[in-house]
Amino acid sequence: MDNTLAMIEGEGRQRILAAAEKLFSAKAFDAVSMNAIACEAGISKANIYHYFPNKDTLYLAVLRVASHNLRAVLNEAVSAHGSVLDVLRHFARNHLQALLNRPQLVRLVWREILERGAPRAQEFAEQGFADMFSALVDVLKLGQSRGEFRQDFDPALVATLLLGANVFFFQSRDILRHYPPITFADDPAGYDAGIVEILLRGLVPASS
């Protein structure tokens, strides 16, 4: 079996998937026409149907690849070594940075989470969530078992809080930027550093 042949055979499919990913990332399912995808891919509309039986299948294929890639990017970003505190700080910062580095993938997957009550979204989205939650919960539990953290908080709750802070930042960055008292809209690293410090030390003075 010749590799070159396999690559050529897959080339058309790849072009379509890339074009579809780009367009589906920018607009919702119904707002993207097969015609637009064909134009973006530089092929004819009918040719798409040689590779995919219908629009829905194409969309699902795009979503499958995208969520897989996003998951890999995120998992890669948050892997770290060092003390519990260092790992936590790096997790927060790198997770957010990974989101900001791949805005299209995030938008694509996240829209699926928000729009569809359908079961297919969950399949992909939950994987990414589960990875992040597991990693983060493990870090927090380790901190607890070592006595570096309190024992009386729920690690899953803190994980939700931290992931939510990053997702919210990613989603509403443009709005945050236009709101005067906010100075960190263009400083994601500073944002996460501030958040982690607050989480660690709390709002109430230590003397209390």
Partner DNA sequence: GTCTATAAAGGGATAGAC
Partner DNA sequence: GTCTATCCCTTTATAGAC
Contact residues for a second copy (CB under 8 A)?
27-31, 107, 110-111, 113-115, 117, 122, 125-126, 129-130, 133, 137, 140, 143, 147-150, 153-158, 160-161, 163-165, 167-169, 171-172, 174-176, 178-179, 181-184, 191, 194-195, 197-206, 208
- Residue 9 as a binder of DNA (CB under 7 A): the answer is yes
The label of the residue with tokens 């380790």 reads: 142
178 binds, among a second copy, DNA, none (CB under 5 to 8 A by kind): a second copy
Least Å from the CB of residue 18 to DNA = 14
- Site size for DNA, by CB under 7 A? 19
Cα–Cα dist 177/160, whole Å: 24
DSSP state of 52: -
Q: Which of residues 12-41 bind DNA (CB under 7 A)?
A: 12, 32-36
Cα–Cα dist 83/89, whole Å: 10
Cα–Cα dist 38/41, whole Å: 5
How much of the chain is helix, strand and coil, in % rounded to 5? 75, 0, 25
The label of the residue with tokens 């074009």 reads: 19
Q: Given the rule CB under 7 A, which residues bind DNA?
A: 9, 11-12, 32-36, 43-47, 49-50, 53-56
